[in-house]
Amino acid sequence: MNRPPRFAVTRTAVHDGVATVGGAELHHMRDVMRLRTGAAVTMLDEAGVEYHGRIRKFEPEQALIEIQDRVEQRRAFSLILATAIIRGPRMDLLVEKAAELGAAELWPVICARNRIHNPGSERLARWRRLAIAAAKQSLTPQPMEVVEPRSFADVIASQAPGRVRIICRPSAPSLARIVREAGARDLLILIGPEGDFDSEEAVSAERAGFRPASLGPNRLRSETAAIAALSIAAAALEEVDKEPY
């Protein structure tokens, strides 16, 4: 069965059983997809609530959607990607694929060997737009949150009860094995920049409790490593999630 097209909406745009859609989402709905009054649509807000409804009418600057049902979306597991900031469209690709693969959060990290230390507000806003678009397309339960850039020291100092923290390193046990053995349902994966972490960063992460994990024998570019890590971890987390508590 074909699913209705999915659009992004903010929680503040939903009132009394009606959602207001404007801007780029209105353009996509009305001018790109050429939907008409009465068409069924699905909308996803920033908290992961999915609204099912039909287009009531189009106005010059907005569409009014009559909501028929709402569903609280929940992730079966939490997967956070902390990755060194990389240059140009490769970072855009990384953000898009991370959202498609089900990452709950993306933490841009400033490492010693980063070539970019401040991506700027415009680029950060672009990454957030890409994450929302990817959530709509991939039907993930909730949009991926792209947080403000963090220093390496802040990342390794971050802790949460029950969270397994992993740093991707060569010549370590496989990532899939570590996730399965840990029985993790809350996972933070740390990916380095081109040229990898420097020796001080690698040592300090492991001292802070990060577990080294390998993505295989090949040397990968940063964005490839991030995508591979998410794919491996997501598959392993699904296996873990099927096991009884």
pLDDT in tens, 79-126: 999 999 998 899 999 999 999 998 999 999 999 888 777 888 999 999
CB neighbour list of residue 32: distance below 8 Å, 6 or more residues apart: none
pTM across the whole model: 0.79
Please give the DSSP secondary-structure letter assigned to residue 76: S
pLDDT tens-digit series, residues 189-213: 999 998 889 989 999 999 999 999 9
Beta strands in 9-48 (DSSP E): 14-15, 18-21, 40-44
Count how many Cα atoms sit within 13 Å of the Cα of residue 149 in the half-sphere of its side chain.
Answer: 19
pLDDT tens-digit series, residues 25-38: 899 899 998 999 99
pLDDT tens-digit series, residues 134-187: 888 777 777 899 999 999 999 999 988 889 999 999 889 999 999 888 887 889
Q: Is 95 helix (H, G, I), strand (E, B) or coil?
A: helix
Domains within the chain, CATH numbers bracketed: 6-72 (2.40.240.20), 78-242 (3.40.1280.10)
What does the mean pLDDT of the chain come to? 88
Confidence at residue 200, expressed as pLDDT on a 0 to 100 scale = 93
Confidence at 76, pLDDT banded by 50, 70, 90:
low
Please give the DSSP secondary-structure letter assigned to residue 67: E
**CA–CA distance from 138 to each of 54, 112, 124, 188, 203 (Å)?**
21, 34, 21, 22, 37
> Is residue 75 pLDDT above 70, yes or no?
no
**CA–CA distance from 232 to each of 44, 215, 235 (Å)?**
27, 8, 5
CB neighbour list of residue 67: distance below 8 Å, 6 or more residues apart: 14, 17, 18, 19, 51, 52, 53
pLDDT tens-digit series, residues 2-52: 788 888 888 888 988 999 999 888 998 999 989 999 999 988 887 778 899
Alpha helices in the chain (DSSP H): 23-27, 88-100, 121-138, 152-157, 175-182, 199-207, 222-242
Helix pair angle (175-182, 222-242), 10° resolution: 30
Confidence at residue 240, expressed as pLDDT on a 0 to 100 scale = 63
Beta-ladder partners of 20: 64
Confidence at residue 81, expressed as pLDDT on a 0 to 100 scale = 96
Please give the DSSP secondary-structure letter assigned to residue 13: G
Say how far apart CA 68 and CA 39 lie, in whole Å.
Answer: 13
Q: Which residue has the higher pLDDT, 133 or 127?
A: 127
Confidence at residue 78, expressed as pLDDT on a 0 to 100 scale = 85
